[in-house]
Each structure stands twice: as C-alpha cells, then as structure tokens.
C-alpha cells in the first residue's frame, strides 16, 4: 500500500561513462530513508534484488534515496500529514 514502482526499460542510459546495461533506482519515502544507516541497509537489500533480477554487476547499479515529508505527498484528496 505504501510502495509504488515504475519501471522504464529500454531507456538510453550512461553510467560511469559507459552505455553498457545499467539501472537506476529512485527510492523516496516518509521516515524510512532519512539516514545513512537506514539507507546502507536498504541499499544492500535493493542491490541483491536488482543484481539477481537484472543480471547486472553492482558497478552498473545506482540507487538514489530521497526522504520526503508528509506534506509532500498527496493522497485521497489531501496530503499524508492529515492521513
């Protein structure tokens, strides 16, 4: 209920100067991705899944974490602050 996933395959991408297959994962969440310690654990788990599912080496994957505030997410005609 709290996770949304968008997959865009076939996009032309360059990572570290190479156009070899790669992936970028963008993770945004309220209160879950706010610290280096939290993101270290999330990163390890996401890398395991992405490596297994996509067959990519870890050097071909980048993860970007964005902590959000409840007022930045709209849902059910309001914002998460009020839900």
pLDDT tens digits, residue range 3-58?
777 889 999 999 999 999 999 999 999 989 989 999 999 999 999 999 999 999 99
pTM to 2 decimals? Answer: 0.87
Distance CA 2, CA 26 (A): 15
pLDDT in the model for residue 22 = 96
Residues 6+ apart with CB under 8 A from 47: 58, 61, 63
Q: Is residue 1's pLDDT more than 70?
A: no
Burial class (CB in 10 A: 0-12, 13-18, 19+), 44: exposed
pLDDT in the model for residue 45 = 95
Task: Note whether residue 17 is domain-resident.
Answer: no
pLDDT in the model for residue 14 = 97
Structure tokens, 1: 């209920």
Task: Note whether residue 7 is domain-resident.
Answer: no
Task: Note whether residue 33 is domain-resident.
Answer: yes
> HSE on the CB side for 29, CA within 13 Å?
17
Number of domains in the chain: 1
Q: Which domain holds residue 78?
A: 28-82
């Amino acid at each position: 209920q709290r996770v949304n996933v968008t997959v865009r395959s076939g996009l032309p991408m360059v990572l570290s100067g190479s156009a070899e297959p790669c992936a970028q994962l963008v993770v945004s969440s309220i209160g879950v991705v706010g610290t280096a310690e939290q993101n270290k654990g999330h990163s390890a788990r996401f890398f395991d899944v992405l490596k297994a599912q996509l067959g990519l080496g870890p050097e071909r994957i980048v993860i970007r974490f964005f902590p959000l505030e409840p007022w930045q997410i709209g849902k059910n005609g309001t914002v998460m602050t009020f839900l």
